[in-house]
Every structure is written in structure tokens, then in C-alpha cells.
Structure 1
Amino acid sequence: MKKERKNAITFGGKPVTLIGQELKVGDIAPDFIALSENLQPYSLNDDKGIVRLISVIASIDAVAGICDMQTRRFNEEVAKMDNVEFLSVSVDLPFALSRWRKATGLEEVNMLSDHRELSFGEAFGVAIKELRLLARAIFVLDKDNKVTYVEYVTEATNHPEYAKAVAAVKNAANQ
């Protein structure tokens, strides 16, 4: 049975339970399997030796638009960097992710769907038990998949700390 963290964050002001262990700076990121836009499995082991910015969102089509804004903002930032992979993970279907990315024309983002097994959500401790969505979070992994920055956004409808995350990516990329 996966670890449950009750009242770990709030979603719309209501406490929710996150499934999985909370990751901390210095941890080695656990592997996971999610689906790419073209329905191919994606694993951390697919591309070793690269810095990763992992942006976790509830849904790219969320009404408030924060998930859309978060993805656009990080895409813009990563476009200015070399040798950084930008992953956006949600439980949206791969078809919805592909439609959104093509409609926006964003090039840097690798949209991943965790809808099948919540493999990513449980491995990274962001699966919301009550909603079967992912909690908003940011992870930066160095070239050895070590976590160098983590933010579990305490209220899922709030924005993450963009500047801190971008600084962490730049720092990891310069190591």
C-alpha cells in the first residue's frame, strides 16, 4: 500500500490526501512510466545525463487557466536554455495534451500523461486520492536524476514559485 499524506495540501481551499512519499532535495528521483502525446511510454531512463524541469499540473484544460499559464511560462524559460528537458505531467489523456500543444505551437515542452496508472503521481507523491488528479508541483533533476529543487504548491489553485524554479534549473544546468 502506498503512503498517504492526509491534509498535505489544499485544493480549492479543501484539504486533500496525497499518495506517495514526499520527495526532498538530495533524493534520487524514482523512475516512472507515463505516456507521451504519441502514446509511447516515457521513463526517466529514456534520456540519461540531462537536466530536467518537471512541471506537474492538474489539467491543461483547467478553467482557471493556471495550468496553461504555468506550462507556457516554463516553456518560454526553457527555450532560452541549452540541454534542459521540460516535462509537463498531468492525468489528461495524451490526445488532449497533443491537441493543446499543437494549438499553442509550443516547442520545448514534452507533455506526458499519467492517466493510466498514476505511476508518476505515486512515485513523486503528487497523486490526489480524492480527485485522481495530480497536485501542482515543480521538480528539478540534475544530470544524475538527483532532485535539486522541489516545490509542492500548498494550495493547488495557486501558481508555483517560477523564479526559484528557473534559478534551480539554471544552477543544475551549469553544474
Structure 2
Amino acid sequence: MANVTFDHKPVTLEGPELKVGDKAPDFTALSNDLQEVSLHDFKGKVKLISVVPSIDTGVCAAQTKRFNEEADKIDNIQILTISMDLPFAQGRFCAAEGIKHLEMLSDHRDADFGKKYGVLIKELRLLARSIFVVDSNDNITYVQYVNEVTDHPDYDKALEAAKQAK
């Protein structure tokens, strides 16, 4: 399993550690209008899945804003940001920050995404910061489990992987 820390203390991630070449597991999460959304809803598109612990923190907000800014620059891509925040909080954040080019999803109900992608932090019931790029055939082409949850991911590598995915 990925060695991940939160505030420099080791945490336990539930679920499998996914790797490049794995088939992306389907999952169910909630959109900001409380509708169930799954990976299958984005069939045929490249997906950049940006996972954040809570949209109400500086690094998570910056990560979401960065991918929102980049979304228009990549053809045939759907950027998803997933957290354990309630859909209402995600909606308020998007409205306040002008987030319009990505889909915010909440995993709060049953942590289905977190368990299937190996990012559910057992001790905190938060998602570990990570990035997954999934091609149009739902194969994982890039993975980053950020070692220290409070650090930024490698935006440039993730964006390059998304541009290369077909």
C-alpha cells in the first residue's frame, strides 16, 4: 500500500492500491444536486480524477481551482473533484470560487469511491489526496497517491498524463 501521512502522522488507507494499467473501478458518488453519478456516466471521455480531503482547506481549494483553470485546455476530458464534503458545501464553494469547468462529487454517503480507489483514510473518514487519469476505455494511465496529504500533487505530471490519454 502507498505510504501516506496526514500532518506527518501515518494513516491507514482502506481499499486496493490502484496502478497504471488497472481497469478503473466503477463507483457511485453524489453530484451537488444529490444525483447519483458513476464513472460510467463519463464513458468515452478521458477522466482526470482529483481527490481532496476537504474543499474547505487551502491546498484542496488551490488544487480544485488549478484543475478548473486547465479544464478548457484539454480536448475530450472530464475533470472530477471528489471529496467527503457534503454536496451543499461543495456547491457553495463552486459558486463562491467560480468553479464551472469540472464536476464536484461527494463520497460522503458510503465512501464507495474511497474504498474502491484505496484512498479512504480509516482514522479520519476523509479521502487521501490523489490523482487518477483514466482513459476513454476506463484504463488507469496515471496515478499519484500524494505521500503527505497536506502537500500539493504534481499538477504538471497529471495534466501531461491527461493530455496523452486517449
Q: Which residue of 1 aligns with 2:76?
A: 83
The CA distance in 2 between the partners of 1:106 and 1:158, in whole Å, is: 22
Q: Which residue of 2 aligns with 1:115?
A: 108
Give the aligned residue type for 2:68. N
Q: Which residue of 1 aligns with 2:131?
A: 138
Q: TM-score, normalised by structure 1?
A: 0.93
Unaligned 5+ residue runs, structure 1?
none
Q: Which residue of 2 aligns with 1:66?
A: 59
Q: Which residue of 2 aligns with 1:96?
A: 89
**Deviation for aligned residue 1:35:** 0.2
Q: Does the 8 Å contact 2:20/2:141 carry over to 1?
A: yes
Q: Between the two proteins, what is the percent identity of the paired residues?
A: 58
Deviates more, 1:78-87 or 1:116-125: 78-87
**Deviation for aligned residue 1:8:** 2.7
- The structure 1 segments of at least 4 consecutive aligned residues displaced by more than 6 Å after TM superposition are none
Q: Report matched runs for 1:9-20 at 5 Å.
A: 9-20=4-15
**Deviation for aligned residue 1:123:** 0.4
**Deviation for aligned residue 1:147:** 0.2
Q: TM-score, normalised by structure 2?
A: 0.98
Name which of 32, 38, 42 aligns with 1:47. Answer: 42
1:35-94 deviation line (CA, Å, top 9, x unaligned) = 0000000001112100000000000002xx000000011111112122100100000000
Q: Which residue of 2 aligns with 1:147?
A: 140
Q: Which residue of 1 aligns with 2:120?
A: 127
**How many matched pairs?**
166
Q: Does the 8 Å contact 2:83/2:108 carry over to 1?
A: yes
The CA distance in 2 between the partners of 1:78 and 1:168, in whole Å, is: 13
Give 3-state SS (helix, strand or coil) of 2:43's partner: coil
Name which of 27, 34, 37 aligns with 1:32. Answer: 27
